[in-house]
Copies of this chain bind each other. A is one copy, B any other.
């Protein structure tokens, strides 16, 4: 008896030990989810606005049909309007317009074709009717589904094909008489129009999100990420053990990773952007394709940086005395390429001609030439060749990156001339001088990139061998 009650008490205790931490766990779980929600909203507040927009559109359309339903009875009509809003209202204006147009046109086309086929089938009568109908449904569904595999159709008209198949099947099989079908078509098209118009008005009027602007910002951001990496690379790679105290934010070294896989987002944004009408600084038929070209070149640069990044790891690190011989010129080359990319990013974002990037491109080219001369002169004789190779690879990859930067600059120039970017006088450009000053100030604070301070004396970077850094006396030359 006692043992039974003991057992019971033990069971209760165990149950209690199991259940006791549950509320705590639940609270921490809820707190975690809340934190995630907050972060998601803070990362891009437009997400919150979009959610509210969908809520608003659906409430409006629901209440409109609900109030009608109280008098006339609720029919299919409202359903089509609600469905249209749910499916068509997308994050960006381009996506919404694309889906709306696809839905509208496909419904019209398939409806007309469906009525024709239905009429044709009903003429044959008897057993011929369902056979003919079945044949046409099969043919149309198979052909439209196959069409969806074409990359061009998949990218822009996938949703239209889906709605085409759906509407055709519904209409051709509907079994209504011709007059009824016309009434049905009229009702359905009008509700789709109401739903579509609600979506388009809300998406354009309430805090519009333009896919074209997003594409432009994404391309600019990617250029900036690569630029920041290159600006910081010199200081990072040629850091000596004594520089360690300068512990600043290292996130710029990770930025390029997201660039590597940006192809998909860029392409879908470009597809959406093509549906958008002229707005703000963009006219209809803005050369969106050119942004994809810049994006491709940026990724090619990022691939090289991924290879370069491997040499930042300690395992691939060469001794300081070997690295120091090309420190100044490599830092200069990397920094100037980075600054050029940042200027290009700014030009893309502000839609100005990227003239302010040209001096940086030139400087990085000069630095690349100096580096080549330096390498030719045999600065590393009597050194462990295996260690030399590690540094030489970095130099070689940096030269490669400089070439990529030039190509990017060319394609941004091309974009600027196709899209008629406004030109700014580089001497008075407030952004440019501001950017450069901030950059220089930041670099001067941090001792390892002393080259930027000496940048003004061109003789030091032209004279080849004399580039051995005088500011770092501890280096064994």
Contacts and interface: CB of A to CB of B under 8 A. Distances in A.
A66 B145 contact: no
A393 B139 CA distance: 58
A48 interface: yes
Interface stretch (A24-32, A67-75, A238-246, A431-439): A67-75
A78 B393 contact: no
A52 interface: yes
Contacts of A385: 375-378, 380
A55 interface: yes
Contacts of A52: 142
Interface string A255-299: 000001101100000000000000000000000000000000001
B74 A76 contact: no
Contacts of A375: 385-386, 389
A67 B173 CA distance: 10
A67 B130 contact: yes
Nearest to A65: B173
Given A47-B149, A307-B400, A393-B393, 13 more contacts: A55-B137, A55-B141, A58-B138, A59-B138, A59-B141, A82-B173, A86-B166, A261-B261, A306-B307, A372-B386, A375-B386, A388-B392, A392-B393
A170 B62 CA distance: 8
Q: Is the interface of A mostly helix, strand, loop or mixed?
A: helix
18 contacts: A36-B150, A47-B149, A51-B142, A51-B143, A55-B141, A55-B145, A66-B173, A67-B130, A69-B174, A70-B175, A86-B162, A260-B260, A304-B307, A304-B310, A375-B385, A375-B389, A377-B385, A378-B385
A271 to B, nearest CB: 14
Top 7 nearest A-B pairs (CB, nearest first) are A55-B142, A393-B396, A307-B307, A51-B146, A55-B138, A51-B145, A69-B175
Interface of A: 36-37, 40-41, 47-48, 50-52, 54-56, 58-59, 62-63, 65-67, 69-70, 74, 76, 78-79, 82-83, 86-87, 130, 133-134, 137-143, 145-146, 149-150, 162, 165-166, 169-170, 172-176, 260-261, 263-264, 299-300, 303-304, 306-307, 310, 372, 375-378, 380, 384-386, 388-390, 392-393, 395-397, 400
Contacts of A143: 51
Contacts of A134: 59, 62-63
Contact of A63 (B76, B130, B174, B303): B130
Contact of A307 (B83, B137, B303, B384): B303
B303 A40 contact: no
A120 B44 CA distance: 35
A300 B306 CA distance: 8
A141 B54 contact: yes
A410 to B, nearest CB: 16
Contacts of A137: 55, 58-59, 62-63
A85 B50 CA distance: 30
Contacts of A386: 372, 375-376
A58 B165 contact: yes
A59 B141 CA distance: 9
Contacts of A395: 389
A222 B133 CA distance: 45
Contacts of A79: 170
A172 B82 CA distance: 12
B397 A66 contact: no
Contacts of A393: 389, 392-393, 396-397
A133 B55 CA distance: 12
Contacts of A36: 150
Contacts of A87: 162, 166
A264 B261 CA distance: 8
A376 B315 CA distance: 17
B169 A62 contact: yes
A145 B50 contact: yes
A41 B147 CA distance: 11
Nearest to A149: B47
